[in-house]
Amino acid sequence: DQQVKQNSPSLSVQEGRISILNCDYTNSMFDYFLWYKKYPAEGPTFLISISSIKDKNEDGRFTVFLNKSAKHLSLHIVPSQPGDSAVYFCAASANYGQNFVFGPGTRLSVLP
């Protein structure tokens, strides 16, 4: 059973518009959430994280929102750029980051 779900395998957005990537989790013990970006044949790179004590974290064009009651988080990218085209993974951890569980990923395509 997947503990971290990303139900949209792909998403296409026009350059300059907002990209919204969604993630749902089932394990209520998760207390830390992360988003990673991955290009083909490379390791994932960390984008942004949020602790369960917050509901929003912002870093430049990237904002992560957490709704604990719904066990849902989302990544907003605004404005979207062609270089943002990649696979985005949502990840969650409990127990102070000893174990990271990843979702299946969403492939974002930003169209010029």
Partner 1 sequence: SQTIHQWPATLVQPVGSPLSLECTVEGTSNPNLYWYRQAAGRGLQLLFYSIGIDQISSEVPQNLSASRPQDRQFILSSKKLLLSDSGFYLCAWSLGSTNTEAFFGQGTRLTVV
Does 10 engage in binding with partner 1 (CB under 8 A)? no
59-98 binders of partner 1 (CB under 8 A): 89, 91, 93, 96-98
Q: At 82, is the secondary structure helix, strand, or coil?
A: helix
Give whichever of 96 and 112 is closer to partner 1, judged by the CB atom: 96
How far apart (Å, rounded) are the C-alpha atoms in residues 65 and 18? 14
How far apart (Å, rounded) are the C-alpha atoms in residues 27 and 10? 24
Task: Give me the sign of the Cα torsion angle 52, 53, 59, 61.
Answer: positive
Per CB under 8 A, the list member of 34, 75, 77, 86 interacting with partner 1 is 34
Give whichever of 90 and 110 is closer to partner 1, judged by the CB atom: 90
How far apart (Å, rounded) are the C-alpha atoms in residues 70 and 79? 26
List the structure tokens of 37: 């970006």
Minimum Å distance from CB 14 to partner 1? 25
Give whichever of 16 and 97 is closer to partner 1, judged by the CB atom: 97
Per CB under 8 A, the list member of 8, 15, 27, 32 interacting with partner 1 is 32
CB 32 within 8 A of CB 40: no
Interface contacts to partner 1, rule CB under 8 A: 6, 31-32, 34, 36, 41-46, 49, 51, 89, 91, 93, 96-105
